[in-house]
Amino acid sequence: MKAEYLEPLTLQSPLCVLPGIGEKRAVKLKKRNLYTVEDLLYWLPREYRDLRQIYSISDAPEGVPCCVKALVAGLPVTSYIRSGMRLTRVTVADEAGQMSLTFFNQVYVRSALVRGEEYIFYGTVERQGSRKAMTNPMFEKEGRRRFTGRIMPVYHLTAGISNYVLSQAVRQAVVRCAGTLSDPLPESVREQYHLMGLGRALQNVHFPTDFAELEQARRRLVFEELLLLSLGLALMRERRGEGTGRKYRLFPLEEYYETLPFSLTGAQKRTIEEAAADLCSGLPMNRLVQGDVGSGKTVVAAACAWLTAKNGAQSAMMAPTEILAEQHYHTLSPLLERSGLRVGLLTGSMKAKEKRDVYERLELGMIDLIVGTHALISEGVRFQDLGLVITDEQHRFGVGQRARLAEKGREGSGQPPHVLVMSATPIPRTLALIIYGDLDVSVIDELPPGRQHIDTFLIGEDKRERMYGFVRKQVEEGHQVYMVCPSVSAEAALERGAMTAAELKAVEEYAAELQTRVFPDLRVGLVHGKLKPKAKEQVMGQFLRRELDILVSTTVIEVGVDVPNATLMVIENAERFGLSQLHQLRGRVGRGKAKSYCVLVSDNRNPDTRQRMKVLCGTNDGFQISEEDLKLRGPGDFFGARQHGLPQLRVADLAGDMRVLQQARDTAEGLLAEDPGLQKPENAGMMERVQRLFERNQDGLN
Ligand code: ADP
Ligand code: MG
């Protein structure tokens, strides 16, 4: 393509304006979410090859890829070795030696390699007898080097597009955009953190002159990405505050505290005060309460319901299953009835007449707090005045479901209800800033006094029989036991209850083996992800009513179900779980008065894996565990906890870039303090990029 035909490029130009990218390839790139020049520019190489060193034939190292400069000494000769397979050979040479090259099915080399000309060949040198040889090397003519003699980017490949074609397209994009790119980062910020300009960063992240420059280029792009993300989240939080919310009157919280059978921890009080301040601020509350299992989130939610009732409005708490709804109902009603609140329950399996009765009382305002399942969002449900919606993050309600419940709050007053989300997944603080950046977050980082420590042990197969003996002992003492088997992909199982047929067979066999061979005299139940919700609830119900001694499950055991009589958690193939997942599972026991235990079974010898599991044996502190998990496994698991909503990060790797994340957060805060809606002209470029980042993700943040 000749230079004068080149159209000017903008970041928004479609990819087919680039050389080598026709309609067909553009379609392929779309599958990788690459639509525009900007997408491509921010699509960083998977790795880099250092081709800066160019060797002579005799100096070239063997067995590793390298560049060799040599002259084409003979005519390339092509032969057919079998149908469809063509072999082209040619000899190259320099002053001191010779090397033979072999190309498979690349007939074009016959015309591409000209006898007597000098080329750089990139490939792995091997020895064939006394001779050196290379197979399928990449080559460039000396004097027209593009990749050799420098650091070469290697991209994730898409079928039908070679690394060469892709690199060329990226190079064009870099060159043709460089002059017109406006840098979203204000100069003051770049100076403060010693960040290079955007053009230079893009140039060097794809075609670095050296590795130090590459590192700086990457750091600059990571900073930019995390800054835009932080800004976007903060703006969402602000925008939410633009509408008016219900402004509650504050009643002395001590009045509520006095009705409780225990005194609250400092962390619980602080959290309640933070939430109460939201409720009385005149803006809609959107608060996440994070606290380890057993930290006492329920009384915090109850406090909000209490204040809501004091203000003459109603609260709704949505749970994902009937069992959980019933459990919440049974803990919340005694807690709140002491203050005169009327607590109701609504689930799908209630009789029609009972439901109608609840509907009526809700509509008349005769129920102050309704606890229920999805039944709460069904047609017939009308509130007199819904002021507060409470959900549990771990239950993973769809964005839509929560919104539909909130909608019911608008029906009466036209004002959105306050929203309180609870989460039992401890997330490292720095990460929470991103994952929950659009919510206000309270952390209950203190357990009620006297909480028992769950003794945790790591054992190998050699101790299996002893472990079975321990299970039996617990049951003989009148307790119950969980035995958990991972699916192959433990995460997938935890997320969606997904399971393959083979995995299903494995867990069924495991349960059958326990029942028939190991514990023929005990009652063993099985619950797994392939069961229908009704069947699942039935087994869980049996366990809850002590009709089962042992519950075998995949990771789908309902997080949050409270079986205080369960004192032992056995986790098979513990190495397959993330630390935080193990901690969550362990939290299923130790909920009653009896001493509780967790046994991790694993024969894995990998030192890292063992260290990870040892962390769990050493501490019961969920936040400490989550910090360790982040260090050891990276942030993927934590993001899994909140799948939708967050824009995909293209450059940053949060595990490695935590320090930059903090800097970006600080910068975002500073920028917004000076220019709250990012309205100033000098911030327009930044604002545009923020909007684009969040547009890519239509869900928005839930
Ligand atoms: P989670 O945060 O896991 O939802 P819960 O709210 O279910 O925890 O509380 C766990 C248990 O601790 C409940 O039995 C609750 O009554 C009790 N509890 C909560 N707060 C306190 C406290 N400050 N002192 C003593 N017990 C408490
Ligand atoms: Mg709870």
Q: What gap in Å lies between CA 554 and CA 474, rounded to an integer?
A: 21
- Residues 57-142: name the CATH superfamily: Nucleic acid-binding proteins (2.40.50.140)
The domain locations on the chain are 15-47+154-208, 57-142, 253-444, 454-619
Q: Which ligand is nearest to the CA of 297?
A: 1
CA 566 vs. chain centroid, Å, equals: 31
Q: What gap in Å lies between CA 107 and CA 116, rounded to an integer?
A: 19
Ligand 1 atom nearest the C-alpha of 444 is: 2
Copy the structure tokens of residue 698: 């239509």
Q: Which ligand is nearest to the CA of 592?
A: 1
Q: Please state whether beta strands 85-94 and 77-82 pair in parallel, antiparallel, or not at all (unpaired).
A: antiparallel
Nearest CA to ligand 1 atom 17: 296
- CATH classification of 253-444 is 3.40.50.970, yes or no? no
Q: Compute the distance from residue 291 Cα to the ligand 1 centre, in Å.
A: 11
List C-alpha distances in Å: 655 to 75, 633, 661. Answer: 53, 8, 10
Question: Mind listing the pLDDT tens digit for each residue in 641-673?
Answer: 444 456 677 888 766 677 788 889 889 989 999
Alpha helices (runs of H) in 499-560, residue ranges in sequence order: 501-513, 533-544
- 65: enclosing H helix or E strand: strand 65-72
Question: Do residues 423 and 392 lie in contact, with contact meaning Cβ atoms separated by under 8 Å?
Answer: yes
Q: Which ligand is nearest to the CA of 394?
A: 2
Q: Compute the distance from residue 622 Cα to the ligand 1 centre, in Å.
A: 16
- State the angle between helix axes of 622-633 and 607-618 in degrees (0 to 180), rounded to the nearest 10: 170
Nearest CA to ligand 1 atom 13: 296
Q: What gap in Å lies between CA 444 and CA 527, rounded to an integer?
A: 31
Helix (H, G, I), strand (E, B) or coil at 548: coil
Q: What gap in Å lies between CA 628 and CA 580, rounded to an integer?
A: 9
181, 182, 186, 189 alpha-carbon torsion, rounded to 10°: -10
Q: Which ligand is nearest to the CA of 299?
A: 1
Q: What gap in Å lies between CA 204 and CA 456, rounded to an integer?
A: 49
Q: Which ligand is nearest to the CA of 332?
A: 1
Ligand 1 atom nearest the C-alpha of 263 is: 23
Ligand 1 atom nearest the C-alpha of 293 is: 3
Q: What does pLDDT average to over the chain?
A: 86
Nearest CA to ligand 1 atom 20: 296
Q: What is the pLDDT of residue 401?
A: 66
Q: Which ligand is nearest to the CA of 292?
A: 1
Q: What gap in Å lies between CA 168 and CA 56, rounded to an integer?
A: 27
Q: What gap in Å lies between CA 336 and CA 255, rounded to an integer?
A: 12
Copy the structure tokens of residue 18: 């680039």
Report DSSP letters for 599-660, one per residue.
Answer: EEE-----HHHHHHHHHHHH---HHHHHHHHHHHH-SHHHHHTT-SSSPPPSS--TTTTHHH
Domains 253-444 and 454-619 share a fold: yes
> Which candidate, 164, 177, 232, 158, places its Cα nearest to that of 42?
177
Q: Which ligand is nearest to the CA of 291?
A: 1
Residue 36 DSSP symbol: B
Q: What gap in Å lies between CA 366 and CA 369, rounded to an integer?
A: 9
Copy the structure tokens of residue 666: 């600080």
Q: What is the pLDDT of residue 439?
A: 77
Question: Mind listing the pLDDT tens digit for each residue in 285-315?
Answer: 989 898 888 889 999 999 999 999 999 999 9
* Parts of the chain with a pLDDT under 70: 1-8, 239-243, 393-403, 412-413, 430, 438, 487-500, 556-560, 633-647, 654-656, 696-702
Nearest CA to ligand 1 atom 4: 297
Nearest CA to ligand 1 atom 15: 296
Burial of 238 (C-beta count, 10 Å sphere; 0-12/13-18/19+): middle
Report DSSP letters for 439-506, one per residue.
Answer: SEEEEE--PPTTPPP-EEEEE-GGGHHHHHHHHHHHHHTT-EEEEE---SSHHHHHHH----HHHHHH
| Phi, psi for residue 443 in degrees, rounded to 5 | -115, 125
Ligand 1 atom nearest the C-alpha of 450 is: 25
Q: May I ask the CATH architecture of the domain 15-47+154-208? A: Orthogonal Bundle (1.10)
Q: What is the pLDDT of residue 431?
A: 73
Q: Compute the distance from residue 299 Cα to the ligand 1 centre, in Å.
A: 7
Q: Compute the distance from residue 271 Cα to the ligand 2 centre, in Å.
A: 15
Copy the structure tokens of residue 73: 């000494």
| Phi, psi for residue 345 in degrees, rounded to 5 | -130, 135
Question: Mind listing the pLDDT tens digit for each residue in 348-407?
Answer: 989 999 999 999 999 999 999 999 988 998 888 999 999 999 987 655 555 566 667 777
Q: Compute the distance from residue 262 Cα to the ligand 1 centre, in Å.
A: 9
- State the angle between helix axes of 607-618 and 579-586 in degrees (0 to 180), rounded to the nearest 10: 30
Q: What is the pLDDT of residue 632?
A: 73
Q: What gap in Å lies between CA 473 and CA 491, rounded to an integer?
A: 31
Ligand 1 atom nearest the C-alpha of 295 is: 2
Q: Compute the distance from residue 671 Cα to the ligand 2 centre, in Å.
A: 38
Ligand 1 atom nearest the C-alpha of 265 is: 23
Q: Which residues line ligand 1 (CB under 6 A)?
A: 262, 264-265, 268, 291, 293-299, 424, 448
Q: What is the pLDDT of residue 698?
A: 42
Q: What gap in Å lies between CA 117 and CA 70, rounded to an integer?
A: 8
Question: Which CATH class for the 454-619 domain?
Answer: alpha beta
Q: Compute the distance from residue 292 Cα to the ligand 1 centre, in Å.
A: 11
Q: What is the pLDDT of residue 407?
A: 77
Q: Which residues in 73-114 belong to E strands, given as ranges?
A: 77-82, 85-94, 97-104
Nearest CA to ligand 1 atom 26: 448
Q: Compute the distance from residue 448 Cα to the ligand 1 centre, in Å.
A: 7
- 48: enclosing H helix or E strand: strand 47-50
Pocket test of ligand 1: the residue of 259, 299, 392, 425 to mutate, having most ligand atoms within 8 Å of its CB, is: 299
Pocket test of ligand 1: the residue of 262, 395, 445, 623 to mutate, having most ligand atoms within 8 Å of its CB, is: 262
Q: Compute the distance from residue 294 Cα to the ligand 1 centre, in Å.
A: 5
Helix (H, G, I), strand (E, B) or coil at 294: coil
Q: Is the pTM of this model over 0.85?
A: no
Q: What gap in Å lies between CA 524 and CA 552, rounded to an integer?
A: 7
Q: What is the pLDDT of residue 699?
A: 40
Ligand 1 atom nearest the C-alpha of 268 is: 23
Q: What gap in Å lies between CA 8 and CA 177, rounded to an integer?
A: 8
Nearest CA to ligand 1 atom 16: 296
Q: Compute the distance from residue 446 Cα to the ligand 1 centre, in Å.
A: 11
Pocket test of ligand 1: the residue of 298, 324, 443 to mutate, having most ligand atoms within 8 Å of its CB, is: 298
Q: What gap in Å lies between CA 11 and CA 154, rounded to an integer?
A: 22
Ligand 1 atom nearest the C-alpha of 331 is: 16
Ligand 1 atom nearest the C-alpha of 562 is: 7
Helix (H, G, I), strand (E, B) or coil at 345: strand
